[in-house]
Every structure is written in structure tokens, then in C-alpha cells.
Amino acid sequence: MSEKPIILGIETSCDETAVSLIQDDKCGIPKILSNVVSSQFDIHKEFGGVVPELAARSHVEKIDLIAKKAIDESNVNLDNVSAIAATAGPGLIVCLTVGLNFGKAMAMSLNIPFIGVNHLEGHALSPKLHSKLDYPYLLLLISGGHSQYLTVNGLGNYKRLGTTIDDALGEAYDKTAKLLGIEFPGGPKLENFSKKGDPNKYELPKPILNKGGCNLSFAGLKTAILRITKKIKTEQEKFDLAASFQKTIEEILYIKTKKAFQEFKKLHPMDNYNFVVAGGVAANQGIRNKIIEVSKENNFNPIFPDLNLCGDNAAMIAMVGLEKYKIKKFDGLDLPANPRLPLDENAKFLKGAGVEL
């Protein structure tokens, strides 16, 4: 093994085609040599959501060019790459297969190790791309497909404390945005929409707020939004509803995070507590501010990935690959894609809902 291995990461779990190369700096913190992400917003915009077959086709068309661009930007000779890491799950299987097979082919042609990576583990470890972060820490993973509180005890060692019992938070944002007529992808744009409205105009439900421990539920909130949008007549009322939705989410996360803090402290009595919030929804500034507030009140140190690392990207996949490379945890070229790959191996998926329970 080289003293400072270089890992090439590949991410194609949904609608981003991404390739990145990273290497530890002299302080032992991974340095991003390149991180190229190509999104497919224009392809899926007319459908109001991601169409798996179109997403996979776009990955096939782009991945070779994206890989070449990432390699060129990194100024790394392919002969110096130590291993290839690619997302193995969870995600859309037709999309996962593209990146996984491309990564296997690269590893085989270069005769270097191949490493399959859990997409969620990429989010979980993403703050390590810009800081030293010791285990254990509490994680809130909030994205388009996942919403869960977990203890991060080490590489590959996770314990789920709570999860959504229906919709993921990012999905709730996307569906609310669509009901308000916000162009796809609407979720990330909803916060700006809400800044024009009155957050106290509508009283919205907060499902299972005072029961279910750290578990979350957003389906009832989404239903309430649907009912109200049918009565809305003005643009200002849309702004008000968006603002009320944003405020409601912040209040739900405030209460549920306090409960997660209590559970984490029982499991890990420590002097210093770190709380990582990762995933695409972690870029929402209102949520960040509310998380900072509740963290300070409960003596937790809130940590967020850089904004460009909140969404799906290959740097976080390469990061996990680097961690696994250091302990020689490699995979065979027969590793299959797993669209329901959990972080907590004891977690089970609720059939039909696509969420962990």
C-alpha cells in the first residue's frame, strides 16, 4: 500500500452522476482532489420526479465523461490510484448498477482493489472530509429517501435510534413543493419560497410528536398540506403555507432531536458530544439554525458537512472507500447492487414504503 493512498469514488444511486478522487493531507484529513457532479434536473423536470429508466440511461451516457473530467481535474495519473470505491446501495437499482459495474471494470483493468460503499455511510462520514471527528457521535440523516437518528460508533458500526415510519423528510419537502407549484426539484427551493410568507398563518399537524421516541412521521403533515392547497386562491397564501410548513418541520426536529440526545447520552456517557446532521436536507438553513439552537441548549456540538457535500456526491463515497482501504476491507467483483442496503444491519425495511423500521 502507498503511504497516502488515492481513492477514486463513484456515485450513481439516483439522479447524480458523480466521480471524485481524494487523498489524505499531511494532517490526516482527506483532501478532495476533484469532485465532479452532473445532475439530471432538466431530464426529469417535466415528470415532476426522477424516472429511474431515464436516470440510468443518463448515467450510462455520462459516466465515462464525468470520470475523465474528475481524473483530469485531480492531476492524478490513473496508475497512482490505489482503489476504486462505488456506491452499492441503497438507491434505484438500475442506477446503482451503472456506477457499480463501471467501478468494477476500472478496478479490474487497473488491477487494484474494489470497494462497495453504502451510500448512507457516505453521508454519515461526510464531515470527515473537512475535519477530524472522533467516534462515537450522534447522526441525523435527512435526505430525499431517508430520515433517521443513528449512533455512529465506528466504520461500519451503527445503531439506529429512530426513523421515519412513512415519508422521508426530503420527500415531504418535494411533495409539498409540488403541491405549491414549485418547479422540480422543488424541495431545495421551498425554503426560499417560505421566506415570503407568514409562518404562523396555518396550524399544521406534528404527527407522533410526543410518542414513538425518536421516530418521525410526515405523511399526516403532507395530507394536511394537500387539503389546504385545494382552498388556496392567492400567491401570498402559497407563501404563507410554505412558511408554516418550514416552521412546523423545524419544531418537529427540535423536539425529536432532544429525545435523540437523551437516548444517545444513555448509551454514551461522555464529556463532549458531537451531533452530525447530513444528507441533502441538511443544506436547509432554517433547519440548520434550529439544530444549532437545540444543540447548544443540550451541550451538543452541531456539525454539518460543507453545503456542496450535503447532496449526493462521490467525495463522500471515496471517503468511505479510503477508510475501508486503510483496514484492507475490500469487495469481490461479484458484489451485487442492493437497493435497500441499511446502515444498521439489524434494521428491516417496511415492505411497500421503502423506509427502514
H-helix or E-strand containing 264?
helix 235-267
| 270/264 Cα distance (integer angstroms) | 10
Cβ contact 322:24 at 8 Å: yes
For every residue of 286-325, DSSP letters joined together read HHHHHHHHHHHHTTEEEE---GGGTSS-SHHHHHHHHHHH
121 and 10 in a common domain? yes
Domain range for 102: 6-129+309-342
Q: Is 326 among the domain residues? A: yes
Cα-trace Rg, the chain = 20
- What CATH number corresponds to the domain at position 300? 3.30.420.40
Shared domain for 125 and 142, answered yes or no, is: no
- Model pLDDT for residues 70-104, shown as the tens digit of each residue: 999 999 999 999 999 999 999 999 999 999 999 99
- Cα–Cα dist 116/270, whole Å: 33
CA separation for the pair 17, 63 (Å, rounded): 6
- Containing 179, the helix (H) or strand (E) segment is helix 169-179
> How high is the pLDDT of residue 351?
33
Task: For residues 85 and 142, state if they share a domain.
Answer: no
* 87-91, 113-117, 128-132: least confident range: 128-132
Residue 277, Cβ density class (10 Å: 0-12 exposed, 13-18 middle, ≥19 buried): buried
- Evaluate whether residue 1 is within a structural domain: no
Amino acid letter, 4: K
* 166 plus 289 within the same structural domain: yes
**Per-residue model confidence (pLDDT) at position 188:** 82
C-alpha cell at 12: 450513481
Do 53 and 195 belong together in one domain?
Answer: no
Rounded Cα distance between 288 and 188, Å, is: 14
Q: What is the pLDDT of residues 288-322, one digit of tens each?
A: 999 999 999 999 999 999 999 999 999 999 999 99
Are residue 119 and residue 160 in the same domain, yes or no? no
